[in-house]
A = this chain, B = another copy of it.
Amino acid sequence: MRRDIFQAIADPTRRAIIALIAVQAMTPNAIAEHFETTRQAVSKHLRVLTECDLVKQEPRGREIYYLLEIDKMKEIDKWLEQFRKIWETRYGQLDQLLITLKKKK
């Protein structure tokens, strides 16, 4: 089963989980309490996130904390790079004015 980051962030629940643990490492149960879903469902999402190295496990006693591998998020940023060049340099003449105005704000 091929997993990559883009596939991982496609799911809104997973994006929410990512945002959650970005602030603070949490256990599956703690995460589940933030949503209207079961622990097992969360557990599955965490598995997907773990498989593509977006998330790391940290066992503490019988609890398992999950924390975000923030570096992995940079890969998305890296992919965006090619388009950032476009939206920064190649502006259509028609939009030029609009964008310029927005920037000045």
Contacts and interface: CB of A to CB of B under 8 A. Distances in A.
22 contacts: A6-B10, A6-B12, A6-B15, A10-B10, A22-B82, A22-B86, A24-B97, A25-B97, A25-B98, A60-B102, A65-B101, A67-B98, A70-B86, A70-B90, A70-B94, A73-B83, A73-B87, A74-B87, A76-B76, A76-B80, A77-B84, A80-B80
Nearest to A10: B10
Nearest to A7: B10
Q: By DSSP majority rule, is chain A's interface helix, strand, loop, or mixed?
A: helix
A58 interface: yes
Interface residues of A, number: 35
Contacts of A101: 24-25, 65
